[in-house]
Amino acid sequence: MASIPITQDEPGIREAFLDRGGENATRCFQCATCSSVCELAPDDAPFPRRQILWAQWGLIDKLAADPGAWLCHQCNDCSVRCPRDVGPGDVMAAVRAMMVERLAFPAALGKLVGNVKSTWPLLVFGPILFWLVLLFATTGLGVVPVHHHLQPSATMGQFFYDQYVPHYLIYGVYFSATAWVLIAFWSSGRQFWKQLGSSAERKGSFIGALVGTCVEIATHGKFSSCEQGVPKRRWGHFMVMWGFIGAAITSGFAVVYLYGNTPLFSWFFKILPFETPGYPVAISHWVKWLGNASAISLVLGGLLLFVNRMSTTNKLVGATTSFDRFFLWIVLAVIGSGVLTEIFRFVPSISPMIGFGVYILHLGVVLCLFLTLPYSKFAHLVYRTLAITHQRMADAD
């Protein structure tokens, strides 16, 4: 049976779809093997067969209003059984990449990250250069006074990074970046939620459905339904997710301890009278243990994802696109530079300037991660959450 050509309902839609890993969609002859073997697809709206058909015809509006691509966890049970080597899991990944770009606010940044194959130098080195210019303009890249009286030691570290990067710069940059990310996610998420509502009637409680969704995502329970899905994918994502959550909680407590003598956070130390305000804290402190445990989770999860992606001929792994590589390398860069930033403070033979250089690299790649959150694979966390919540409400009695 002749394959159905992809039609262009928008200029450049065919090229964009092919570039994001959907080049094999034209092989599909709609036998429905993929939808038949998928354990995650709803009975009344099986995927990925119809999503492949819509992609073949360039029906982007239909894809944008459908939760199917986001309910797929790309375990690739379908890909190993496809008689035409279409790689339905890869096609669904390409659909998700296109939806992230299409929903992006503003659209120009979505296109910038969507074309990461050629724009990655700007995305990666731009934030690093920004930090260098900012520090040169504010501190002359030199040592600045610190607002604590801690002395270097074996448990406190050989030097402190706020000697080189004042806290007010970190707050100014990352609070602004966080505000921007929240605005972008709110705009894109609101648009996506509205489009999902046009495809099916929602019933029941949004909060109730959202809580169930959060539990599902927190446990990665749906992965266990996959018959042949690669465990490295499940546990790699699981450990990276919880590692980032732990790192965020650690950062929050760091702010609490740093400003523990102010009215904003003094209440914390009244609840825990055995704790004393002040930061940095010793390596033996429980906040450091939480941070280090989160770092270990990130390292192990990142390595699992990396090893999984190295299996280029395994259909259960699927194809690796530039979009995937950018996500993975940014995650690994954040993890690696963050771990080295911590270790170098406790190695007497390491020059503070070397540690400072790695710290600048870390700040740069973290800023890259922040600014690209709504436009990279990190955006899956928002869109998948909304899609699963929508499906739960659509299925409610």
Task: Report which of residues 66 and 7 the model is more confident about.
Answer: 66
Segments making up each domain of the chain, as ranges: 13-105, 109-395
pLDDT of the residue at 76: 87
What pLDDT does 8 receive? 45
Other beta carbons less than 10 A from residue 307's beta carbon: 12
- The mean pLDDT of the chain is 87
Q: Which range has the worst mean pLDDT, 111-115, 212-216, 218-222, 248-252?
A: 218-222
Q: What is the DSSP letter of 72?
A: -
Q: What is the mean pLDDT of residues 210-232?
A: 82
CATH superfamily membership of 13-105:
Alpha-helical ferredoxin (1.10.1060.10)
**Residue, of 331 and 227, whose pLDDT is higher:** 331
Rounded CA-CA distance 336/258 in Å is: 25
CA distance 292 to 323: 29
What is the pLDDT at residue 232?
Answer: 72
At 289-329, the pLDDT tens digits run 999 999 999 999 999 888 888 876 777 777 788 888 899 99
Give 136-185 pLDDT, tens digit per residue. Answer: 999 998 888 876 677 878 778 888 888 899 989 999 999 999 999 999 99
pLDDT for residue 376 = 93
Nearest to 146 by CA among 132, 131, 167: 167
Give the model's pLDDT for residue 379: 94
pTM of structure: 0.88
Please check the confidence at residue 370 and state whether its pLDDT lies above 90.
yes
Q: Which of 95, 119, 111, 75 is nearest to 18 (CA)?
A: 95
State residue 5's pLDDT score: 47
Judged against a pLDDT cut of 70, whether residue 254 lies above it is answered with: yes
